[in-house]
Structure 1
Amino acid sequence: MDFDIPPQPHGRGIREIRALVAAAPVPDDVRWLADECFTAIATCEGEIHGIDPAEVHLHEVGAVDAILDVVGSIWGFHQLGVTDSYTGRVALGDGTVRAAHGVLPVPAPATLKLLEGIAVKPGPDGAGELVTPTGAALLRVLTRGRSISSYVPLRSGFGAGTKDFPDRANVLRLVLAERTETPAAGVRELVLLTADVDDMTAEHLAAAADGLRTAGALDVILAPIVMKKGRAGTRIELLCDPADADSFETRILTDTTSIGVRRTAVRRRALPRETIDVDVLGHSISVKLVTRPDGSRTGKPEHDQVVRVAQATGTPVTAIFRAAEQAAERAIRARV
């Protein structure tokens, strides 16, 4: 597909790019992921230059063709119905590349930062730049890491670049496939909602988190972060079923002072667990039993109940906790 792009400014800020993406007639999922890509690029550039991401001026990445690359790639995956993406070890290329800031080593600083946590390899020799910041951002947002061990190919396609190499084809391969391996027990596809705030009191944040848990969120955590201008803030992370994501997103924007929520598809593996009751000094205490991957079982007494029994019996909390653990261990052995 070719685009006829009129003359344009060289680069844009993240706010302008977000406005262009927001105005695009694309599905919401495509818009969210595209926004996540450009946010990741701006964040990495901001860290490298020591400035706020909102102040970053994206040169090559802010051009219309790069915006079309990101939105078009994500939209293509959406049209194909792709739910999970994987990639092999990423070849970085070698040499140098000329950018708005001058000649840079391959991979460029922003590219390398975006690829943190992804398996890469240098070369091949004489290849030049093989991964741009745009491509690295797409890998970071769309892929789940290395290719799965086995799959059934359904369709495949190749895209050729304009650069010619003397000893290899300059093509990108995409394979649409179905997994053949059985997912691990307890694995669920979930949604992670993230929002940052720096103007709520600890009491109000705790109340908002409790309200989200009561509403059925699978998990809610509050983590300290440093926001722009060095201000202390809090990151709210909420885990929920995909069907509940919209309602929780609305609730976060209603119950907190945050003006934006990021949405990410995640996969969670939870170990099998059950709750049993054990007797300690004539009082009942609930113990959560967890089955580990090797088949062994561990138990943890409910702390609030341990404290209650300790207060009722005048016994140290540590002694009640250990007695409940031992009672659970006896219950586990009795089942074997």
Structure 2
Amino acid sequence: MQQYPPNIEHIDQDMLKVEVNLDDTPGEWLGYVMEKLFDAGANDVYYTPIYMKKNRPAVQLQLLCSKELLTEIQSILLKETTTLGIRYYPITVFRMERRTRKIKLKWGEVTLKEGLQDGTVVKVSPEYEDCRLLAEKYGIPLKDVYAAVWRQIEVGTT
């Protein structure tokens, strides 16, 4: 698989979507499994609540990874969860060009993550960790930090 820098708009070929249904895996194991999958190189890992046969509540674990990682990903899933089987299928992923920049608020700096399409910024999102640290440091609600970021973006003073 051709590797692209994360900030260049591109299409990832040879990706896989991997999924397992877990109706008897304790919830506290899920975060641990997620970390192991990310450490192994998974691009994304997420859980969705589902119902299985006999109307049992369960979780579907889904992830995206390159084909080269499938053997390692399968090993983690089989060793760290209660699944007896793994589904996977090819998928193509479009990735926007990405860049970051910093803005100054009265409490400090916040990193903005920008998504570009054809060189034009079409998405902007404040970095959660920066906002969280400012909220904790100054004892202000997190939503107020986010609001200050959005106000500054709207008036174009970034």
Question: Is the Cα contact below 8 Å between 2:36 and 2:76 reproduced in 1?
Answer: no
Q: Give 1:211-290 correspondences, 5 Å limit.
A: 211-290=36-115
**Deviation sequence 1:249-307 (CA, Å, 0-9, x none):** 11111111111111100011121111222222242222111114683433111223212
- Which structure ranks higher in relative contact order (CA pairs < 8 Å, sequence separation ≥ 6)? 2
Tell me the TM-score normalised to structure 1 length. Answer: 0.41
Aligned residues: 147
Higher strand fraction: Structure 1 or Structure 2? Answer: 2
Question: Is the Cα contact below 8 Å between 2:114 and 2:125 reproduced in 1?
Answer: yes
Indicate the SS of the match to 1:330.
coil
Question: Is the Cα contact below 8 Å between 2:19 and 2:88 reproduced in 1?
Answer: yes
Indicate the SS of the match to 2:61.
strand
Question: Which of 153, 175, 188 is 2:12 aligned to?
Answer: 188
Structure whose CA Rg is larger = 1
Structure 2 spans left out of the alignment, 5+ residues: 1-8
Deviates more, 1:216-225 or 1:318-327: 318-327
Question: Is the Cα contact below 8 Å between 1:278 and 1:287 reproduced in 2?
Answer: yes
**Which one-letter code corresponds to 1:273 in the other structure?**
R
Question: Is the Cα contact below 8 Å between 2:10 and 2:97 reproduced in 1?
Answer: yes
2:33 match: 208
Q: d(CA) in 1 for partners of 2:138 and 2:106?
A: 8
Distance 1:262 1:235, change over 3 A: same
Q: d(CA) in 1 for partners of 2:92 and 2:52?
A: 27
1:307 match: 132
Distance 1:290 1:252, change over 3 A: same
Identity %: 22
Indicate the SS of the match to 1:236.
strand
Question: 1:225, CA displacement in angstroms?
Answer: 0.9
